[in-house]
Structure 1
Amino acid sequence: MKHVRLKAPPLLGFAAIAFTLGLTHPAMSQEAPAATLPAATLPAAEGGATQAPGGDAPADAAKPTGFWERDTLTGDWGGVRSTLQDAGIKLGVVETSDLLANVTGGAKTGALYEGLTALTLDLDLEKLSGWTGATIHASAWQIHGRGFSANNVKSLMPQSSVEADRGSLLSDLYFEQALFDGAASVRIGQQAVDDEFIISKTATLFVNSNFGYPALPSLDQPSGGPDYPFATPGVRLKLAPTDQLTVLAGAFNGDPAGPGAGDPQLRNPSGTAFRFSDGVLAFLEAQYAINQSKDAEGLPGTYKLGAWYDSQPFADQHFDRLGLSLADPRSNGVARQHNGDWSIYAIADQMLWRRPGTDDQGLSAFARVMGAPADRNLVDFDAAGGFSFKGPLEGRDDDQVGLAASYSRISNRASRLDADFLRLVPGRPVRDQESSIELTYMAQVTPWWQLQPDLQYIVHPGGNAPLPSDPSQRRTIGNAFVIGLRTTVTF
């Protein structure tokens, strides 16, 4: 996980008011966007005028404007928001708040709050200046609360996808040019890899961060990789030669915070380091989509195959430069270095059953597997999978219920190092794996407000790591049962 230590006041007042008002109002509007998560670039808030499919009137002209029916909590700002969008300026503010408690297990039991205010700005340069196919996107985070996983569970991956040390920082800031009538595009500037790469659409329903940018790259790439909350300078090329096939290729700065001693997050606390000198992190991903049109006879699905390579040196998990175990008292304590690191991954999102007469209600599944070399990585294999059901109850067309599980394996080199320490400290645990199971229900209360009760069970937090409060290092962190509630408000 990543941490930012710039303190800033939380922006929770509106969310709290909306929560209170919502509990006293029976309206349950069902026309709303999907849940917004930092695993990908958050969309700007809805509400601007768009062209209606069959005429000249704006599609939004017929949209409800009542408090409980509109797309955003703050509405159209007296016409200012739609005027800006007509001019090519789209603003978005989304507040995500998580209250989590581990009732058993972990490093210690208790409850904590953590939240994220996500701000987005999108500029349509065609509307603003006549530059066809050109856009600018910027996003920033204001992170508040305390890290539940870092303080209570001590797991490898946070139980909340918004967890990071509180602070304010820039994320994305890039220019994008569409080419060949949308069949290709080039993106240049600071960007997070998980805006587009290595993400399962079905898995974004879940609260646990391992269902977003996975544990393997998060724990193996320098400074946790260019994903939430950090982005990094890079170039991305997107090609869509057919309606089914899309190819993404990107080259990014290899370390979003940069090398140095101490907490890597402190080296880029505001997200404005704009580093270019930390090697190259290259991504390549092919995506194949089937049955995407509404009149397709089969069920929609998307299949992805990808790989990444980082050109920087990576430390061996077991041996020092002399070929001795790092646990050996004769070791020089400096790990052997390897040239570069890489991983291969595959992702599948597939709808399994569709409710008759609907476009997207029904049962969907996802699966993701990935592997990396064991000698230079803490996690060398990662897998996740699960199910989601949209519209599970009569009249609740946009609600979703989901069940998912993940597995992250500690590499045999890291486990062998622990076994060496076991000889020095008898009874000290050997790390092996961390797994999680999550059951969640996302209720679309209004178009601008979601409530999501959540249950998680974490097996071997920290990969079967020693309990921090045990000076003997013989007791492990206990399996944790976590209950939580997420609320998301679109302003």
Structure 2
Amino acid sequence: MYRVLIRVVRVFAAITAVALASAVHAGDQPDSSNNKDLRDKLADAGYQFTLTYIGEGLANVTGGMRTGAIYTGRLDLGTTIDLEKVMGWTGATFHANMFQIHGDGLSRSYIGNLMLVSGVEALPSTRLYEFWIEQQLLDGRLAVRVGQQASDIEFIDSQYDDIFINSALGWPGITGINLPGGGPSPPLAVPGIRVKARLSDKITAYLALFDGSAAPPDADDAQIANANGLLFRVNDPPWWIGQLKYKFEIGESRLPATITGGGWYHMMSFPDQRFSADGLSLADPNSSGDPLWLRRNNGLFMVYEQLLARAAPGSDKGIAFFMRASVSPSDRNLVNAYVDGGFLFTGFSDAYPNDRFGVAATYARISDSARALDRDIQFFTGTPYPIRDYEAIFEITYQHEVTPNFSLQPVLQYIAHPGGGAVDPYDPTQTHRIKDGVMVGVRTIISY
């Protein structure tokens, strides 16, 4: 496995060397490019390189499983290559990036919540993430992407949610919780094919077919089973997702808005949340203990986003709002209903025009079948075992641009009913819920 990873790193190095040679050659030409820095010369030659480091110091100051603080970080190295400029392949683009993830996770070690307090939180690893080629056709109206890729950038997404730190405010909590390995989103991408079609100036259609799992079905933890992102699984039952996005404008100020609707269909089998294979409750001492497996899974979702007010006439900054909602069957999913939303404020300071302030909340409802299992546990054990109901997160954050390449972002989150109201693993009686938690912290972002 590590030998394969080393080979991938060598490919990155070879691409960099070729790009540098091309840039030096371009710099020898007697034109204005001599006055550009190396990065501009590389872009002109078709090579773009990115480096982003996110470092977080986060603390659970009250509630959760226990109080404490952690540091976690993720280095993201990426390249995007215009294959038309480099080798004459019209309309083609290559992209790859890799993560180096380190540090502890506040949710897994201290709070015990389902919707991780940070989208960076993951098991420590050096991992290949995305590795794909995209071909544009019909003058850019159709784009086909093939290779290892993620779904969270384009599907069930809002342009106004990227400031928030909680993982569910990136990739929605319902898909991150219900899909195998969390679905194709950080820190695990999977092989797939994505088709994007611009049907008109206002309507865009998306359809994707992904391998259904980033790790073998019997793996206890996909991040451990696919530690370096190199399994490239293609034989699992697939996951389909599609959506239609409609853009329009509101009022005399022509405020931009978008509404998106879609659904997904997973062809894998999923365990029943309540019943065993022999038809008894999983809480029944006489049951086999093996869950009843149900074929297929699905979900419906919608996204609405709108700029509510402009910071200045003609500006794309101001007060923006987004909301997302999704539902899935109760019998095979821990979460059967989900909603989130928030407000983003930008462009209101002349001194700091790129600073951003955000307020958002999420709500994930524990399915009826999972609740029924908790009631069964109460019945068979005779103890006041907690019945899970929901998990909700409230986040408030401010992102300050110190320099164009460095930002500082304090954050506060209130976590209601961690684990959906699950029993506290440190409670000796196993009858008390995990207490509501409060997280405070600071994220730093260095980019180049």
Asked if TM exceeds 0.5, the reply is: yes
Match of 1:477 among 434, 439, 448: 434
Residue deviations 1:127-162 (CA, integer Å, cap 9, x gap): 101111101000111111111111111100110110
Question: Which residue matches 1:178?
Answer: 136
Runs of at least 5 residues in structure 2 that lack an aligned partner in the other structure: 1-22, 24-30
Q: Residues of 1 paired with 2:104 and 2:224: CA distance?
A: 17
Q: Residues of 2 paired with 1:116 and 1:327: CA distance?
A: 40
Q: Residues of 2 paired with 1:237 and 1:375: CA distance?
A: 31
Match of 2:349 among 393, 408, 427: 393
2:394 pairs with 1:437: yes
Q: What letter matches 2:263 in structure 1? A: A
2:119 pairs with 1:142: no
Q: How many residues align?
A: 418
Retained in 1: the 8 A contact 2:219–2:225?
A: no
Retained in 2: the 8 A contact 1:360–1:390?
A: no
TM-score by length of 2: 0.90
1:262 positional shift: 2.8
2:325 pairs with 1:366: no
Identity %: 41
2:183 pairs with 1:225: yes
Question: Which residue matches 1:313?
Answer: 269
* Alignment CA distance shift 1:358-1:447 (3 Å): farther
1:264 positional shift: 2.8
Residue deviations 1:45-73 (CA, integer Å, cap 9, x gap): xxx9xxxxxxx978x97xxxxxxxxxxxx
Retained in 1: the 8 A contact 2:418–2:436?
A: yes
Question: Higher relative contact order by CA 8 Å / sep ≥ 6: 1 or 2?
Answer: 1
Retained in 1: the 8 A contact 2:123–2:223?
A: no
Residue deviations 1:89-116 (CA, integer Å, cap 9, x gap): 1110000111111111111111111111
Question: Which residue matches 1:8?
Answer: none
The structure in which a higher percent of residues are strand is: 2
Residue deviations 1:261-304 (CA, integer Å, cap 9, x gap): 43232221110100011101001011111249xxx941011211
Match of 2:422 among 462, 465, 468: 465
Question: Which residue matches 1:18?
Answer: none
> Considering only aligned residues, what root-mean-square deviation do their CA atoms show, in Å?
1.9
Match of 1:446 among 396, 400, 403: 403
1:81 positional shift: 2.1
Q: What letter matches 1:103 in structure 2? A: V
SS in 2 for 1:193: coil
Q: Residues of 1 paired with 2:437 and 2:217: CA distance?
A: 33
Runs of at least 5 residues in structure 1 that lack an aligned partner in the other structure: 1-47, 49-55, 62-75
Q: Residues of 2 paired with 1:319 and 1:372: CA distance?
A: 18
Question: Which residue matches 1:130?
Answer: 88
Q: Residues of 1 paired with 2:212 and 2:68: CA distance?
A: 37
1:396 positional shift: 2.0
Question: Which residue matches 2:358?
Answer: 402
Q: Residues of 2 paired with 1:357 and 1:383: CA distance?
A: 32
Question: Which residue matches 2:63?
Answer: 105
Q: Residues of 1 paired with 2:47 and 2:366: CA distance?
A: 46
Question: Which residue matches 1:164?
Answer: 122
| Range with bigger deviation, 200-209 or 405-414 | 200-209
1:472 positional shift: 1.3
| Range with bigger deviation, 375-384 or 392-401 | 392-401
Retained in 2: the 8 A contact 1:223–1:258?
A: no
SS in 2 for 1:161: coil
1:358 positional shift: 4.5
Question: Which residue matches 1:248?
Answer: 206
5 Å-filtered alignment, 1:2-21, equals none
SS in 1 for 2:210: strand
